A and B are shown apart, each in its own frame.
Chain A
Amino acid sequence: MFTLAIGPYLVTILSAAMSPAEISKNMDVSHLMLSPLGQLPTVDDRALDLEKLSTEIARQARVALVHQEATADALVITGPDAEIRVYDNGNDIIFSSRQSNAADKIFTNMPKITMEETEARAADVLGAADVDLSQAVIDVHDYAITGGYEGQPKTTTIIGRKAFVYRYIGGVEVAGNKLVLTFALDGRLQKVVGTWSRVRYSNSILKSRLTTHQVRNRAADYLVNHDLLNEENRLAGAVGSHFIVTPTGSLKLMGFVNVQTIFSGQPGRVESYDFEI
């Protein structure tokens, strides 16, 4: 056994001969929470108020959304050059408006609203979608094109902003829940996509009965029992926890363990496995 520093991680090369106890000693548990913090909601999430959401989106996108219909798998509200589509009983949302071809105009502008204003506009859309803002972590980024002709230098130009919204309940991330809102340089909303599950708290499993030590051991057992460390080019990485949303809409706290693959001596793909805690 020997250790190897890869980026911010110190990981340990393991062999199949190692025991789960030896494996568990070196795991990074900084992302492990055995129970959420603070007071959690007791009332289930409300069903999406599509009228409120479409009104706010139409206002921010400066489009008309007028016609509503139910298709086989979604509710759809459409207007000229714009559409909102809601799948899975309100869990998956897609709003898109047709984007201008006027790339030359877009390429020469700079954002006219601040990062803070972008975040506030994103929060207004989330509020209209009945998102509990205390659960939303909004991370705003510029997005850009690096472009040019073959064989010539490429130049980078900012073309808009994206607000990535992640969900944390009591500080625990909800796996698979993410919304992305895209704004034009002038602050106009262009697009909303992602998944925000309607959670039923009543039958949720929010806490683990295990200790951190027991979770480490369970992660190591999982890796050994599933034969996931049988090759020299795989390393045990972080152990953490997150909520998954079950098919009935309740939350379940699950552990996850990452395995770092090594490819040509460099860190390759990270595999992530869930296990019961």
Chain B
Amino acid sequence: MDDDDRVFKALADPTRRHLLDRLHERDGRTLTELESELAMTRFGVMKHLRVLEDAGVVTTRRSGREKLHFLNPVPIRLIHDRWIDKYTERRVAALADLKQELEESA
């Protein structure tokens, strides 16, 4: 699996997207805090966090005895820059061509 595969896999699950939204709302949370907002066992939340960490979209820092989880948007940005930009550019170009064609035939 390459880096992009890991990010797509990490995002392809509603619970993991929910975890990212929770971190987007407030960053730097402990497992216990995140667990309290999900109807899921601690083990289940840990498993999902592991997938998010492997993909790099969650990064952790130690603060004293606590392990804090932070949303890291850089891998999502990389996918945006690598894929989304490229396709929207083409779509805009395709629409521009279509408009020109329709106007010419009208």
Q: Do A and B bind each other?
A: no
Interface residues of B (CB under 8 A from A): none
Interface residues of A (CB under 8 A from B): none
